[in-house]
């Protein structure tokens, strides 16, 4: 509760508009739906601009279903990520209107009513074909958060002309997500071609000394282009989320 709300509440208490109990209640109002196994943060949309997102790994199908229902009930959008095929099947049946992307491992169930217009351009670029699942997770998330998205696949640096011919698309984006495994070199090149922020996503594609994504993660952290930031290995969700935040803000200016 920020100061102006707090001051107003206390003033209303002083002049008798609210009782001590009511003020106490207000000062301690729960904004959390307690499901026992989970404390669903119903305040997050207001605080952070987007509702809580469900991370599928390590959760039973029933747990996920309950959280989805609770968010629906609260009139909030619902996004779930990293769903196993079994979880995806179960949730598809439970929520027939949800969009389930088996390649990207996501479920998207928007709240009812009209959606705000998509705003700001997020471009997702992959180094290889095998990076597509993570790229799709990023696309789904960025759309859910409210940005326009475009996807360019398989333009790794071993054939540098492939990315160079996408220069106009790159330069038109408000934020670029680069998804790459193995050597993870693509963000370094992309970063040097544009003046927008670039979010690099290392993937676990590769073998041997790729170490399930450690190699591209390190490459990206050491990226020589100054406009490149990094997220966790295979974290398409986080890249899509932040890219949409950035792009939407930038687009508001146009």
What 3-state DSSP class applies to 2? Answer: coil
Report how far residue 211's alpha carbon sits from residue 223's, in angstroms, rounded to the nearest whole number: 18
Q: How many CA atoms lie within 13 A of 162 on its CB side?
A: 13
**What's the min distance (Å) between Cβ of 250 and a copy of itself?**
4
Cα Rg, the chain, nearest whole Å: 21
- Which H or E run includes 198? strand 198-202
Verify binding: residue 17, a copy of itself, rule CB under 8 A. Answer: no
Which lies closer to a copy of itself via its Cβ, residue 20 or residue 86?
20
**What's the min distance (Å) between Cβ of 48 and a copy of itself?**
5
Q: 67 and 54 in contact (C-beta within 8 Å)?
A: yes
**Binding residue (CB under 8 A) for a copy of itself from 5, 14, 17, 84:** 14
Verify binding: residue 108, a copy of itself, rule CB under 8 A. Answer: no
Q: How far is CA 44 from CA 41, 49, 55, 176, in A?
A: 6, 7, 15, 25
Q: Following DSSP, what letter does each residue of 58-104 receive, concatenated? A: T--HHHHHHHHHHHHHTT--EEEES--HHHHHHHHHH-TTSEEETTT
Verify binding: residue 144, a copy of itself, rule CB under 8 A. Answer: no
Report how far residue 130's alpha carbon sits from residue 43's, in angstroms, rounded to the nearest whole number: 37
**Binding residue (CB under 8 A) for a copy of itself from 5, 17, 25, 55:** 55
**What's the min distance (Å) between Cβ of 17 and a copy of itself?**
11
Verify binding: residue 242, a copy of itself, rule CB under 8 A. Answer: yes
Q: Please, which of residues 184-213 interact with a copy of itself by CB under 8 A?
A: 184-185, 188-189, 191-197, 199, 202, 204-213
Verify binding: residue 157, a copy of itself, rule CB under 8 A. Answer: yes
**What's the min distance (Å) between Cβ of 145 and a copy of itself?**
9
Verify binding: residue 86, a copy of itself, rule CB under 8 A. Answer: no
**Binding residue (CB under 8 A) for a copy of itself from 148, 174, 178, 179:** 174
Using CA atoms of 43, 112, 244, 55 in order, give the dihedral in degrees to the nearest 10.
Answer: 60
Which lies closer to a copy of itself via its Cβ, residue 85 or residue 96?
85
Verify binding: residue 31, a copy of itself, rule CB under 8 A. Answer: yes
**Binding residue (CB under 8 A) for a copy of itself from 90, 110, 153, 169:** 153
């Amino acid at each position: 509760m920020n100061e102006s709300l707090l001051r107003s509440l206390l003033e209303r208490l002083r002049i008798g508009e609210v009782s001590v109990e009511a003020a106490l209640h207000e000062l301690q109002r729960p904004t959390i739906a307690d499901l026992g196994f989970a404390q669903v943060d119903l305040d997050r949309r207001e605080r952070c601009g987007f509702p809580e997102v469900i991370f599928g790994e390590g959760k039973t199908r029933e747990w996920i279903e309950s959280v989805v229902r609770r968010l629906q009930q609260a009139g909030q959008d619902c996004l779930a990520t990293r769903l196993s095929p079994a979880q995806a099947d179960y949730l598809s049946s439970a929520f027939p209107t949800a969009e389930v992307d088996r390649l990207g491992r996501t479920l998207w169930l928007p709240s009812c009513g009209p959606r705000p217009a998509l705003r700001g351009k997020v471009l997702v670029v992959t180094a290889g074909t095998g990076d597509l699942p993570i790229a799709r997770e990023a696309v789904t998330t960025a759309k859910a958060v409210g940005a326009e998205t475009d996807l360019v696949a398989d333009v790794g640096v071993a054939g540098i002309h492939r990315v160079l011919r996408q220069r106009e698309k790159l330069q038109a984006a408000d934020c670029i997500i680069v998804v790459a495994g193995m050597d993870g070199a693509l963000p370094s090149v992309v970063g040097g071609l544009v003046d927008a922020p670039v979010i690099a996503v290392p993937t676990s594609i590769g073998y041997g000394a790729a170490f399930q994504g450690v190699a591209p993660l390190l490459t990206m952290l050491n990226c020589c282009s100054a406009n490149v930031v990094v997220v966790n290995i295979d974290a398409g969700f986080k890249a899509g989320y932040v890219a949409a935040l950035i792009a939407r803000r930038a687009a508001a200016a146009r």
